[in-house]
Structure 1
């Protein structure tokens, strides 16, 4: 059971962090090169709608499997090691940022596009990008902490 929890936890992190890296570092620049603003906004709306829908399932799985491992392997936070505490903190911060972005700027982007307000949609998309960028940085830090703590002490 512990191995299954660990695999689900790691796969969730790979999907989340990898998806953000792909969206920001590959898809966004390619869309800017190939598409005009209206098509780019429509594309990014579709991408983030699908990605955020997936994350509404992935993020709780990551949090719940993390807690299950803390209580199954370490018998609680009091007995766990430094990197577990740091992963917990960054994971909760990332989950909060995701919720704020998905329920705030992303909803505003959808509403602005539906109303034909491209300037408003673009401004909201910039706020989505900022939140995703912050989460990508935190996600990469969390992965580094996990690897360092597990094998580096």
Structure 2
């Protein structure tokens, strides 16, 4: 794989991941206020299912393409500046947050929806919202550092 392909994959899938979180928090969530709570939770269950499937593909592509660039193009951590070190850290933290969401709150939400426990599903959805909001902020920070680093 050439560095250009790896870089394109890295940027595109990072945009999908961070853009998806931005859409969910800034556009979808406020628009759901027109629905009754049971409808809102059921819809969010479907949204999460699709989005988390997308992230299961995007996250490894972002990480693997980043490591390909880091070790295959730049020669490792010594060959890069501080922005790449920070992106590496924030990317790993974001992946950890995603895994926490998927195996924690999302698992609880799926179980609650399957058993008709709307209060449990709503509580799990709120936890997902908080974690996704934090991950969105980390993602925006990472993108800002990436942009800064290209010109530094």
> Quick check: TM above 0.5?
yes
Query: Partners in 1 of 2:54 and 2:79 — Cα distance?
Result: 33
1:23, distance to aligned residue in structure 2 (A)? 0.4
Query: Partners in 1 of 2:113 and 2:3 — Cα distance?
Result: 45
1:79, distance to aligned residue in structure 2 (A)? 2.1
Q: Secondary structure at the match of 1:108?
A: helix
Query: Partners in 2 of 1:96 and 1:86 — Cα distance?
Result: 15
1:72, distance to aligned residue in structure 2 (A)? 2.2
Query: Partners in 2 of 1:121 and 1:65 — Cα distance?
Result: 35
Normalised to the residue count of structure 2, the TM-score between the two structures is: 0.97
2:21 match: 20
Alignment of structure 1 residues 35-54 onto 2, 5 Å: 35-54=35-54
Query: Partners in 2 of 1:4 and 1:75 — Cα distance?
Result: 17
Moved over 6 A (4+): none
Matched, 1:84 2:84: yes
Q: Secondary structure at the match of 1:75?
A: coil
1:129 match: 129
Normalised to the residue count of structure 1, the TM-score between the two structures is: 0.97
Alignment of structure 1 residues 1-153 onto 2, 5 Å: 1-32=2-33, 34-151=34-151, 153=152
Task: Output one character per residue of 1:80-117: Cα deviation in whole Å (capped at 9) or x when no partner.
Answer: 11100000000000000000101110110111111111
Task: Output one character per residue of 1:6-50: Cα deviation in whole Å (capped at 9) or x when no partner.
Answer: 000000110000000000100010011x20001000111101100
Q: Secondary structure at the match of 1:144?
A: helix
Aligned residues: 151
Q: CA RMSD in A?
A: 0.7
Task: Output one character per residue of 1:50-75: Cα deviation in whole Å (capped at 9) or x when no partner.
Answer: 00011111100000000000112220
